Amino acid sequence: MLEIAGKKFTSRLLAGTGKFGSYPQMEEALLASGTELVTVALRRAEPNDRSDGILSYLAHAHINLLPNTSGVRNAAEAVFAARLGREALETNWIKLEIHPDPRYLLPDPVETLKATEELVKDGFVVLPYIHADPVACKRLEEAGAAAVMPLGSPIGSGNGLRTIDFLEIIIEQSRVPVIVDAGIGAPSHAAHAMEIGADAVLVNTAIAVAGNPVSMAAAFRMAVESGRSAFESGLAGKSGTAIASSPLTAFLNE
């Protein structure tokens, strides 16, 4: 079972809340996904108005909030935002996203490490979004990150696990959960991440902008379970040479 910072999760699918057509649709999709950990941009969460803002649609017993710092550009902004969020949302969990470049939204490894160190000291449970960089992930782990969230491919690209060579090293070396974030554009990508041993995946765009976000969420739920089960069942290695499934005999000529 997935365990982050001492908390156990049945579901290995983390979900995002951006880009849905409406809050009710988002809510229905999140329920269909089976997710127990949902990330929400701090600026979208308006805690004072729980009655009809996004938070009211997330108010389910099995759903835990994971506020994210999307939009901040350096460690100082991230720490400030995280503290505001903790007070407002009454959780010390934080998905740390620091991306100085507004175009590609790729994470800054230096600022992310700095903010992680500071937030951990301050009692936060920190889940940093980071490049699929094994050394950066190891340093974040050493700084006290509760999990690492390396990207599969550029955010929003839906290109799947382009960083697989590095994800495999990260998974091999990590002592904290590895959650593949960004680039997962189809259930097959999510299954793939689980098959190579990732502990969880985070999906947002691929569900939110699907033709039918609710059934797509259910599809991702199955894919994650399938991939995890395959990992645990022991996938046969890839072989360079062809091996027949069926007995190879010219049976008519014996």
55-94 binders of a second copy (CB under 8 A): 68, 70-73, 77, 80-81
State the amino acid at position 2 in one-letter form. Answer: L
The reply on whether position 120 binds a second copy by CB under 8 A is no
As a whole number of angstroms, the longest Cα–Cα distance in the chain is 82
Out of 53, 144, 154, 197, which residue is the one contacting a second copy (CB under 8 A)? 154
The single residue among 30, 66, 99, 167 that binds a second copy, judged by CB under 8 A, is 99
Structure-token match 């407002």, residue found: 88
Q: Which of residues 163-182 bind a second copy (CB under 8 A)?
A: 163-166, 169, 173
Window contacting a second copy (CB under 8 A); options: 2-10, 52-60, 86-94, 131-139: 131-139
**Which range touches a second copy (CB under 8 A), out of 57-65, 86-94, 119-127, 130-138?**
130-138
| Half-sphere exposure (Cβ direction) of 30: Cα atoms closer than 13 Å | 30
Of the pair 61, 244, the CB lying nearest a second copy is at 244
Interface with a second copy by CB under 8 A: which range of 6-14, 47-55, 58-66, 216-224? 216-224
Which residues within the stretch 231-250 sit at the binding site for a second copy (CB under 8 A)? 232-250
Q: Which of 136, 149, 176, 200 binds a second copy (CB under 8 A)?
A: 136
Contact yes or no for 124/94 (Cβ under 8 A): yes
Only one of the segments 2-10, 47-55, 120-128, 150-158 lies at the binding site for a second copy (rule: CB under 8 A); that segment is 150-158
Q: Does 204 belong to an annotated binding site?
A: yes
User: Which residues are CB-contacts of 3 (< 8 A; sequence separation ≥ 6)?
Assistant: 9, 177
* Closest among 89, 86, 88 to 119, alpha carbons compared: 86
Please tell me the count of residues contacting a second copy according to CB under 8 A: 100
Rule CB under 8 A: choose which of 11, 35, 65, 131 binds a second copy: 131
Instruction: Kindly state whether residue 44 participates in binding a second copy, applying the rule CB under 8 A.
Output: yes
Tell me the CA end-to-end span of the chain in Å, nearest whole number: 53
Name, in order, each residue with C-beta under 8 angstroms of 148's C-beta and a sequence gap of 6 or more.
127, 128, 130, 137, 140, 141, 170, 174, 176, 177, 178, 179
Please report how close the Cβ of residue 8 comes to a second copy at its closest, in angstroms: 21
Please indicate if the annotation marks 163 as binding a ligand.
Answer: no
Comparing CA positions, the residue from 153, 146, 157, 187 lying closest to residue 167 is 153
| Catalytic machinery residues | 95
Nearest of 50, 125, 144 to residue 86 by alpha carbon:
125
Contact call for residues 198 and 180 (beta carbons, < 8 A):
yes
Backbone torsions φ then ψ of 39, nearest 5 degrees: -95, 140
Name the minimum Å distance from CB 6 to a second copy: 27
Which residues contribute to the annotated binding site for 1-deoxy-D-xylulose 5-phosphate?
Answer: 156, 182-183, 204-205
